[in-house]
Every structure is written in structure tokens, then in C-alpha cells.
Amino acid sequence: MKPSHLHSSILPLLFFLTLAHGLSPKCNTPDKGSTLQVLHVFSPCSPFRPPTPLSWEESVLQMQSDDKTRLLYLSTLVAGKSVVPIASGRQIIQSPTYIVRATVGTPPQTMLMAVDTSNDAAWVPCTGCVGCSSAVFNPAKSTSFKPLGCQDAQCKQVIDIVYCPHILNLPHTVIASLAQDTLKLATDPVPSYTFGCVQKTTGNSMPPQGLLGLGRGPLSLLSQTQSLYQSTFSYCLPSFKSLNFSGSLKLGTKGQPLRIKYTPLLKNPRRSSLYYVNLLAIKVGRRIVNIPASAFAFNPATGAGTIIDSGTVFTRLVQPAYIVVRDEFRRRMGRATVSSLGGFDTCYTVPVTIPTITFMFAGMNVTLPQDNFLIHSTAGSTTCLAMAAAPDNVNSGLNVIANLQQQNHRVLFDVPNSRLGVARELCT
């Protein structure tokens, strides 16, 4: 299997965390039915928390830097520069922010896997992996493990040119063999699930215990479990500030919310795995700001438009859209002194008076309270608008609705009916 150019780094979000001493969340709560517990990578239950907390300023700057890497990855997808879903020599992936518990093999071996709506891959670090974490899957201990060769149909679904053997020495790479084994999600076993059994990773290329792609490509979770889950799932991402940090990932049509508003999912034939939506306008408070229609226009040829993404932290808007939103935000704040912090150019040391920001999609409006568009320092002395313009080196015309803006909402991906639903929900 051809190696992938991957780059990832865990997002330091510790400045949000205000855990009370002596209180511990329920880290071993069993998953039930087809619902999985979703954890932030820095929840007290996660083994991936860094040992040394960063300062608030360092955390914000690191998050912004990592988001830029993520946006570069997304721009290569929408522009069609990376021609295969999970095995391009030019692909860059940033580690997503949320993880779920799954098991692989017979008998089952527990893995914590990052979930990502803009990836199709399933990556599992295997025994003997160079550069992986200490928690790896041991194929020799699984009676249901089956290696796949370059002649197998699944291999041809993920690579344009097959390399056998695959020995290339590139920075930020993942070298993996295609394999199949039983994947168990909550109480649902999925026999013969195809994934990349990682043999080598360099340059912090992937999440420590692997990745579970929730995109729409041929080897994504949706495609491989179509008869079980009917290509339908929803998640509720927990707030960074909550003590428990536990949200949920619901797979399949059962248990999904009935009272929910929908917007159509759009499809880019060049990148059919991404979840495009039709964003029409934005309200700051009660005022619809004057954003040119071209800023949100969907163009499959260029990849321009708006996507929902679970792996980016802060929403990014193309320059013409962001400038208008920012200027109205500043106007509403009156004469308060505005400052900047890294890529955030609208920060204040006085209380922010704008109560809501509303994303207006075709068929539904999503009104965000302050927790979904502001970030605060631990001491509460500085508050920033948690959105930014797309970096200058990302020219795809892509707007990204990121995970901070999705927190404490149930986001439902109904692929058979080509629609995306959003409803307010306290996730934790």
C-alpha cells in the first residue's frame, strides 16, 4: 500500500479546562447499543493529554497553527490535488480533536480512535510499528485477522498506483498494509472491516491510536457499514469547558432526534466524501451582514463553498465574508479597545455584548450562543471572537464550520436523504 504524507498534532486546549480537585469523570462508562461515548483528546479520560499544560496564549497560538495545517489538508482535498482518499503521497492530515472507544480483532483489543468527518480512512497502529504509541493492535493475537494483498479489490479502491513492497523514505509519512478484521463499535460487531495496519509513522503523522474516517468514500465507516447503519450517524461534541467532557456518536437511524431542522447536503464529485452545505448568510446579533453571494457560492470545479468539519477547531471564512462579520462585531462593541492574539484579530478585555451569531443555511438557521463563538482566558480577562479568515496560502474559496461552533449541538448526517440536521443539545 502506498504511504501517505500525513501531518498531525494534538490540539492544546488546556486553557479551557477548569477541573475541580477531587472530582473525576466516569472514564469506563460502557457504550450501549449503537451509541459511542465521544471524548475530547484532553479530557481526564484521555491518555493523550500533554504532561505539561501550556499558557493560555501558547495554547491559542498552537491551535491556530494546527488549524492552518488542517485547512491546507482540506484545501488539497477540495482542489483535487490529492487524488486518492487515504493513500496519496501528497496528503496532509491533522489529528482530529475527538476520540471514541472501539475494539479490533477476536478476542477484542481496545483502541481509542480519532473520529473525522473529512477522512475516509481507518488507520490502526499494529505490533512492531515504528513511531507509533505503545498501545497497538496485535494481529497475531486475533483469529479473525486477514491481510490483503495488492491484487485485492479494496487495495485498488484506495491507491492510484500500487507499490509492492512499499518502501519509501519520506518525512511525515504513514506506511501501512491493508488488512481486514472485526471492528466492534459499542455493541455492534462489523466483520471483515478494511483498514490500514500501520507499520511506520514519522513526523507525528497520525493520532496515537489511529483514526476512524466518517466521510463518504469507498472505505469509510459509512460505506463499510451501509446495511447496518444505513449511512446515517449523528454526534454531539462536548464543550471543552465541561467537567465530564463526554459527548456521543450515534450510528444508524434508531434513536436519532425527530425534532430537528435540516439543510441539503451538497456533493462535490471531485471530493464526494466532504460534507458540503449551502450557507446563505450570517447574522451578528439581529443584523444580517452584507456578505457578497460569491463568498459562499458552491463550485464543484474549484472546491469553493462551505463544509461541516469535525477536525478543525475554529470556523474559517473566506476573506470577504470574515471581514464583514468582524467589522459588524466591532461596530456592535462600540468604542471598546480591540486587540489581537495571533490569528484572532478581535479581542477585548471588557464584556462582549453581542448575544448571538446565526448561520443561515438553506432550510434552517443555527443560532449560536456566546459559548460557540467566543473564547475566554482562564482568568476571564481576555475574550476573542473565535473565528478567523482563511489563511492567505489557502486559495480554495472554502468556508469551514468547525467543531467549536458545533459543540452542544446534535449534528445529524443523513446521507441517503442528502441532508444535514442540527438541533441544540447539551452534550455532556
Residues in the chain: 428
Nearest to 284 by CA among 348, 341, 331: 331
Strand partners, 190: 183
Separation CA 333–CA 354 (nearest Å): 8
CA dihedral 43, 85, 235, 185 (to 10 degrees): -80
Separation CA 269–CA 303 (nearest Å): 10
Separation CA 362–CA 264 (nearest Å): 7
Query: Of these residues, 31, 116, 120, 414, which one is catalytic?
Result: 116
Separation CA 275–CA 262 (nearest Å): 13
- Active site includes 116? yes
* Other CB atoms within 10 Å distance of the CB of residue 18: 10
Query: Of these residues, 67, 120, 309, 414, which one is catalytic?
Result: 309
Separation CA 131–CA 152 (nearest Å): 27
What DSSP string runs through 164-178?
SS-----SSEEEEEE
Nearest to 248 by CA among 29, 395, 418: 29
Radius of gyration of the chain (CA): 21
- Sequence-distant (6+) residues with CB within 8 A of 153 are none
Burial class (CB in 10 A: 0-12, 13-18, 19+), 405: buried
Backbone CA torsion sign across 44, 48, 53, 57: negative
Separation CA 294–CA 28 (nearest Å): 48
**Full 3-state SS string of 287-339:** EECCCCHHHCCCECCCCEEEEECCCCCCEEECHHHHHHHHHHHHHHCCCCCCE
| Grid cell listed for 5 | 504524507
Nearest to 84 by CA among 272, 268, 232: 272
As a whole number of Å, the end-to-end CA separation of the chain is 40
Residues annotated as catalytic (active site), given as ranges: 116, 309
